[in-house]
Amino acid sequence: MKDLLLIHGWGFGQRVWAPVGEQLARRFRVHLASLPGYGQPLAADTIPAGSTVCGWSLGAQEAMRLALAQPQQVARLVLVGATPRFVRTDDWCHGLPPDVLAAFATAVADDPSLALRRFAALVNHGDDDALATTRKLNSLSGSCLPSPAALLDGLRALRDTDLRPLIGRIVQPTLVVHGEKDELIPVAAARWLADAVGHGRLATMPGRAHAPFLSASKLFADLITEFSLG
């Protein structure tokens, strides 16, 4: 049985994988990693050799860093709702306007719980099952909220990170999974990413937004299984 490491995104910890985790555990030894401030982080040197590493959103950027830093550990890479750069700039039109992240930083400082509920709605906006998936995401976060400091650190990472110069160095076969209705990160960013990775391919999920593993968990699990084991 192969090893699969899952890395969550901004605002929501390891529990976000629960709806799809049971399905994946039938085919993989599943390991969960925490971003800084969300629990005990998984040390890079403890990742089992030959793992498939799957990251969502901000976690996808961490997955790319792991693939670059630990190529002997990371055999395959799955990037979900991913982008090399979250913020729009003069030379990158596929990102969020900077004032959107600034508004979230203000909201986190005022009321972190409310800010995350609003973010959950934004994550799922446009999804064919937006309301149900938003409720699911909120229930998974529950009372286990990261600290405001961790949330603000994550927003700064989203604002400042630009992995575009490094993408061409990724040597692992890479699957980029993206909801066709993702309104947070446009599909164009995923296309760019899949093209820029030397061994990348794009799998779009019809009717799904930024969290396709929640709104279509079986299809998502099938995609990872086919890519990793096929």
- Which are the catalytic amino acids? 57, 182, 210
- C-alpha–C-alpha distance, residues 75 and 77, integer Å: 7
- The torsion of the CA quartet 204, 209, 211, 212, rounded to 10 degrees, works out to -40
- C-alpha–C-alpha distance, residues 137 and 81, integer Å: 15
Are 83 and 185 in contact, with CB atoms under 8 Å apart? yes
Residue position matching structure tokens 């090399």: 84
Continuous H helices in the chain: 18-25, 58-69, 98-110, 112-124, 130-141, 148-160, 187-196, 212-215, 217-229
Handedness of CA 100, 161, 18, 203 (dihedral sign): positive
Phi, psi of 69 (to 5 degrees): -85, -30
CA 21 to chain centre: 15
